[in-house]
């Protein structure tokens, strides 16, 4: 679960197909992929739930802390964490 390359971030920014699948409660099985909005800020990939922090996938991502995303023809295991307020404000 390494960092994204510049090329990968450019492909992600140009695409509109990011799907997120946090782990289920067993920490082994991926949840159902959910299409979500993403943004690149200062070389980092961020996602935002349409229904905010009440979204089921968001709650699962924060609770489990890891899962998988599929975007721009790439599938990768990732870690999830809440965004700092300053970053969150830049995406608005």
Domain boundaries, the chain: 6-90
Predicted local confidence at residue 58, as pLDDT: 92
Predicted local confidence at residue 52, as pLDDT: 85
Q: Tell me the C-alpha distance between 12 and 54, whole Å.
A: 25
Q: Tell me the C-alpha distance between 27 and 47, whole Å.
A: 21
3-state secondary structure of 73: coil
Model confidence, pTM? 0.82
The tens digit of pLDDT for each residue in 9-52 reads 999 999 989 999 999 999 999 999 999 989 898 888 988 888 88
65 CB-near residues (< 8 Å, 6+ apart): 79, 80, 81
Quote the DSSP letter at residue 23: B
Mean pLDDT of the chain: 87
């Amino acid at each position: 679960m390494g960092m994204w390359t510049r090329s990968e971030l450019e492909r992600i920014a140009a695409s509109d197909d990011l799907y997120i699948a946090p782990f289920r409660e067993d920490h082994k099985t991926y949840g159902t992929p959910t299409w979500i909005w993403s943004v690149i800020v200062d070389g980092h990939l961020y996602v935002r739930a349409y229904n905010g922090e009440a979204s089921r996938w968001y709650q699962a991502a924060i609770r489990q802390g890891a899962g998988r995303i599929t975007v721009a023809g790439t599938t990768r295991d990732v870690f999830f964490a809440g965004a700092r307020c300053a970053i969150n404000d830049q995406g608005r």
